[in-house]
Amino acid sequence: MTDRFRRFFHRLRSFFGRTKQDRELDAEISAHLELAIEENLERGLSALEARRQALVRFGGQRQTRERHREARGLPLLETLLQDLRFALRMLGKSPGFTAIAVLTLALGIGANTALFSVINGVLLNPLPFPNANRIVAMFQDKPNFPKGSISYPNFLDWRQDNRCFASIAAYRWADGTLRGTGEPEEVRAQRVSATFFSILGVRPILGRNFTEDEDRRGANPTVILSEGLWKRKFASDPNILGKAVNVGGAARTVIGVIPTSFRLHIQNFKTADLYEPVGQDEDEKFHRRDSFWGMDAIGLLKPGVTLEQAREDMKRVNSGLAATYPDIDADIKANLSPLKEEIVGEMRSVLLVLFGAVGFVLLIASVNVANLLLARSTGRRREFSIRVALGAGRAQILRQLLTESVVLALLGGALGLILANWGTSAALAAVPRTVPRAEDIGLDPRVLLFTLIVSVAVGILFGLVPALKISGTDVGASLKDTGRAISMYRSRTQAVFVVGEMAMALVLLIGAGLMIRTLAYLWGRDPGFDPHNVLSFGIDPPPSLAAQPPDAIRAELGEIHRVIRSTPGVEHVSFDWGALPMASDDEVGFWPEGQPQPARQADYASTLEYVVEPEYLQTMGIPLLRGRFISDADDKRSERVAVIDNSFAQKYFPGQDPLGKHVKIFDFDADPSERTWIAFTIVGVVGHVNQFGLADDATQPLQAQMYRSLMQGSDLFTKNAAQGLAVFARFHSSLSSQAFFETIRSALVTHNGQMIVSGNESEEEIVAHSIANQRFSMALLGVFAALALLLASVGIYGVLSYLVGERRQEIGVRMALGAKEVDVLRLVLSDGARMTLVGIGIGVVAAVILTRLMAGMLYGVAPTDPVTFAMVALFLSGVALLACYIPARRASRVDPVVALRYQ
Amino acid sequence: MPESKLDLLQGTLDLMVLQTLAAMGRLHGYGIARRIEQVSGDAVLLNQGTIYASLVRLQQRGWIAAEWGTSTNNRKAKFYSITKRGRKQLSEDAAYWQRLSDVMGRVLALPEGSNNK
């Protein structure tokens, strides 16, 4: 072992100390020769003869040096370096070729690196939690919502009865109004079970996690701050523990600080500024088995338990609940999925489709460079023939050529890395909130390794065909340099390349075309309301308001409404409590008049519920179809009224006039003593609003929508509304939504300094965000397809130019024999057209197979949509013919005399 | 490990160099070459330059040492001498060669077709 090491060390040293050793050997050789000459002279030979014999006896000095080098050095490394140096020299000699090849490869490799870094960050990297593969997301599967909310009593029973989880923890949104520390403001707050952070393996940097004792009603109210909030609002106060903070109108004692490194974004949970124990909720309704307050859970599987076992176990738990609470839990189901699936969601299939697409771009880039190398080989054929004649083996030439192409690819890879790094951050910034785990995306060692491997593989891939062709060249033939047969052979290879490029470009263009059609379809869909010039934001009145009598609250809400209404530029305003279009869902159980009351609560029909004001319809631009909307006259003293949408009418009053009919709603919001079924008279029918986003609304089972008057809410409801409401305001089209929001905000803060106004977003943004995934896919596929189109056009242009150059003589002869410019033009164009059409034919077949993979991303268009296929094929043919036209034109201008003299 | 003909020759030459240095003491490259020529004629050394690859190989293995010095007639030359490790190697290799040549001698001494008689 040490021996081998010593030898290697010697070899390495002589590898680097090459020149010194060479000089020593030279000195040794001359000493040798002098000694020999001296001896020969002593033997009586003439000076000349003595020298001659010494040289003869010594033998070839060159071979001696080479054998010496081989014996002492690292021959493989040395050859490699020699090849590398030679490759760099050759590339440096033709900077134009090198620049184009490197740039082409950089685009291809860069696009792949960028997408791989996204896939690596989102799909491959484990979640940043110690037991990530044992963490499961839990939902309650309900008829209208497979990922529905869990009620707190059900959650407690799940936790107690299951046998396969080490622990489960619930979480939901919380009121994050923060007062008493600087400016009042709304921060993100979450309520979590005591074990929430320990399941995720997150440790506070200060203080401790919640305890089970804190996680129940009547416990001392506590709060955990995030590191960010602690720094920003409390100047990183090291003595923060034990201090009181006013959150959501109540004082809470700080018990810990959670590090910034903790990040999680799933349904109903987003990394927050502060956390409260979920079980402390004093609201009686929260603890009802039939309330669904937007609460989900995570669970930590016991070691060795599979997800399947957990699902079986939860079935057992739920059948127990169904037996105990048949009225509510009759059909209760648990929906379990790995936490990572939950975070990544549908992005997985999108990313894989995009990765396939970007792979095609790289292939096209490689083919282009291979074509360039083939064309270049014309000029180098003699160079290699001479080397072969001088004794270089085929393997040596192959090695040299492959070294050159790998060097090219590595240069391209290095540049591609820079492009990818820059492009990824630019792309992620352009589509915020679309890609999950965006913070985990970056160039880590795995991405660098990927780029290296791809570069080397691509270098060999595109280098191999030209290298095999050149190194297989018949020496004698190319030295004689008629070269006819060879170039015919090569042009066939080039034609195959072009056909392949066209086919791949067609597949990508069709993919992009399908996404464009999808987007056009989605944008063309009627959202059911007019999102232009509508602003949505939230208000949190001071906590003292909720403590006042209901009528005072109603009066103050009316006052706030007037303040907003009188802001310059406001056209219509409405509060909304309940569901918000494309932003948040709220459902209520009911039964329509004339039908028997269902025996079990689980059997009631469901409708989305919007509790609004009279101007809501004008604010949102929703059409009134029949009857009237809610009016100012519908208040606490008058008959309770409801307005339904046409889906509701069709589903529950088919073929009848719904006006004047009644629906009965269980009044959750009444005081517990006076809860009852309340009848609402239907006074109007309005258009259906797209609640679940442009892409997904039609596939959601819950379609019925109902509007009620905010001013007809019960006293308890009014108290809840006083703690926070959503506001929609339609403004004059001359204003920008941001400026408009600032005007309203300052008017409201002037009205009451303790008011918090936050979360503004224009309805246009909300609508656009509902199809963010599709826009993301379209943008990337579009970029890739454009790149493919450009590269393929350059490819066909290059090949035709080359062929025209080769056929100059033939064209000259034709023209001398009377062919017209048009004939030549047609001759060359038909060559290009043949390659294009064959490519498109193959591409169509490939696309029919491949676009099926993106069926899940498409809306309103079939994966094999004939219109898209035809348009794209026409478009690509047009571009390709345009690319062919330039060389064809050049050919038609050939002067027969010059052409015939050529060669 | 299959040995090529060249490897076999290399090994032979290396062993001769070691033996020469063991027998003659400190020598320069020319001296070693001449000595081998005198003993073996041109059977091993096709030409004298071949010796230098062998010398550097032996040096790297630590079997011989080298230093620049002056020859008897005041010429600067590189002198080689066998090391302790080299002597050990020489005795092992010499024994191996002896055994091999005995075996070869016996094998080649078998009369042709002897099993028929």
Classify residue A22 by its DSSP letter: H
From residue A517, how far is each of A411, A845, A846, A875 by CA, in Å? 38, 20, 20, 15
The answer to whether A787 and A357 have CB atoms below 8 angstroms apart is no
Asked if the model's pLDDT at residue A180 lies above 90, the reply is no
In three-state secondary structure terms, A334 is strand
Q: What is the residue-wise DSSP string for A542-595?
A: -GGGGGS-HHHHHHHHHHHHHHHHTSTTEEEEEEEEE-BTTTB--EEEEEETTS
Q: Which amino acid is at A383?
A: E
Distance from CA of B44 to the nearest CA of A (A): 13
* Averaged pLDDT for residues B53-72: 88
CB contact under 8 A, A32 and B73: no
Q: Give the closest residue to A71 by CA, choosing from B52, B63, B80.
A: B52
The answer to whether B85 and B75 have CB atoms below 8 angstroms apart is no
* Averaged pLDDT for residues A860-873: 94
Q: Which letter, b or e, does each residue of A557-578 get, where b requires 16 or more Cβ atoms within 10 Å of its Cβ?
A: beebbebbeebebbebbbbbbb
More confident residue, A594 or A825: A825
* Averaged pLDDT for residues A805-829: 84
Q: Which amino acid is at A427?
A: A
* Averaged pLDDT for residues A614-618: 95
Distance from CA of A851 to the nearest CA of B (A): 55
Q: What is the SS3 string spanning A110-170?
A: HHHHHHHHHHHHHHHCCCCCCCHHHEEEEEEECCCCCCECCCHHHHHHHHHHCCCEEEEEE
Classify residue B26 by its DSSP letter: S
Q: Give the closest residue to A810 by CA, choosing from A795, A831, A796, A794.
A: A831
Rounded CA gap, A170 and A173, in Å?
Answer: 11
pLDDT value at position A104?
Answer: 92
Count CB atoms within 10 A of the CB of residue A60. 13
Query: pLDDT band for position A877 (50/70/90)?
Result: very high
Q: Which amino acid is at A24?
A: E
Share of chain A above pLDDT 70, in %: 95
CB contact under 8 A, A11 and B60: yes
Task: Kindly report the pTM of this predicted structure.
Answer: 0.76
CB contact under 8 A, B53 and A64: yes
The answer to whether A537 and A757 have CB atoms below 8 angstroms apart is yes
From residue B63, how far is each of A338, A541, A577, B85, B86 by CA, in Å? 65, 93, 93, 5, 4
Rounded CA gap, A795 and A723, in Å?
Answer: 65
Asked if the model's pLDDT at residue A242 lies above 90, the reply is yes
Q: Which two tokens stand for residue A637?
A: 């003293």
From residue A148, how far is each of A170, A803, B107 by CA, in Å? 13, 65, 90
pLDDT tens-digit profile of A316-370?
999 999 999 988 888 889 999 999 999 988 888 889 999 999 999 999 999 999 9
Closest CB to B75 among A6, A31, A61: A31
Q: What is the SS3 string spanning A282-309?
A: CCHHHHCCCCCCCCEEEEEECCCCCHHH
In the block, residue with structure tokens 């464009």: A516
pLDDT value at position B6?
Answer: 44
Q: In the predicted model, what is the mean pLDDT of chain B?
A: 81
Q: In the predicted model, what is the mean pLDDT of chain A?
A: 88
Query: pLDDT band for position A840 (50/70/90)?
Result: very high
Q: What is the residue-wise DSSP string for A43-104?
A: TT--HHHHHHHHHHHH--HHHHHHHHHHHHS-HHHHHHHHHHHHHHHHHHH-HHHHHHHHHH
Complex prediction ipTM:
0.85
User: For the ranges A505-519, B5-19, B42-56, which has the lowest average pLDDT?
Assistant: B5-19
Distance from CA of B87 to the nearest CA of A (A): 16
φ and ψ at residue A678, rounded to 5 degrees: -110, 135
Rounded CA gap, A122 and A135, in Å?
Answer: 17
Count CB atoms within 10 A of the CB of residue A149. 22
In the block, residue with structure tokens 């307005």: A643
Within 8 A of B57 by CB-CB distance, chain A residues are: 71-72
pLDDT value at position A673?
Answer: 59
More confident residue, A208 or A671: A208
Q: Which two tokens stand for residue B19?
A: 């033996």
In chain B, whose CA is at the least distance from the CA of A62?
B49
Facing residues of B28 across strands? B79
* Averaged pLDDT for residues B7-15: 71
* Averaged pLDDT for residues B35-64: 82
pLDDT value at position A804?
Answer: 81
Query: pLDDT band for position A1 (50/70/90)?
Result: low
List of residues 6+ apart from A148 with CB closer than 8 A:
A139, A140, A141, A142, A292
pLDDT value at position B113?
Answer: 62
pLDDT tens-digit profile of A459-469?
998 888 888 87
In three-state secondary structure terms, A484 is helix
Closest CB to B75 among A34, A56, A63: A34
CB contact under 8 A, B48 and A59: yes
The answer to whether A417 and A447 have CB atoms below 8 angstroms apart is no
* Averaged pLDDT for residues B25-48: 81
Closest CB to B53 among A7, A56, A67: A67
The answer to whether A587 and A568 have CB atoms below 8 angstroms apart is no
Query: pLDDT band for position B1 (50/70/90)?
Result: very low
Q: What is the SS3 string spanning B67-112?
A: EEEECCCCCEEEEEEECHHHHHHHHHHHHHHHHHHHHHHHHHHCCC
Distance from CA of A66 to the nearest CA of B (A): 9
More confident residue, A824 or A2: A824
Closest CB to A61 among B49, B57, B71: B49
Q: What is the residue-wise DSSP string for A652-699?
A: HSTTS--TT-EEEEE-TTS-GGG--EEEEEEEEEE-----S-TTTGGG
The answer to whether A285 and A153 have CB atoms below 8 angstroms apart is no
pLDDT value at position A669?
Answer: 63
The answer to whether A256 and A208 have CB atoms below 8 angstroms apart is yes
Rounded CA gap, A684 and A691, in Å?
Answer: 19
Classify residue A435 by its DSSP letter: S
pLDDT value at position A283?
Answer: 83
The answer to whether A186 and A274 have CB atoms below 8 angstroms apart is no
Rounded CA gap, A448 and A855, in Å?
Answer: 32
The answer to whether A167 and A296 have CB atoms below 8 angstroms apart is no
Query: pLDDT band for position B46 (50/70/90)?
Result: low
From residue A809, how far is each of A380, A382, A666, A887, B102 by CA, in Å? 21, 21, 92, 15, 75
pLDDT value at position A292?
Answer: 81
Q: Interface of chain B against chain A, CB under 8 Å?
A: 28-31, 33-34, 46-50, 52-54, 56-57, 59-62, 71, 73, 75-78
Rounded CA gap, B46 and A157, in Å?
Answer: 94
In chain B, whose CA is at the least distance from the CA of A31?
B77
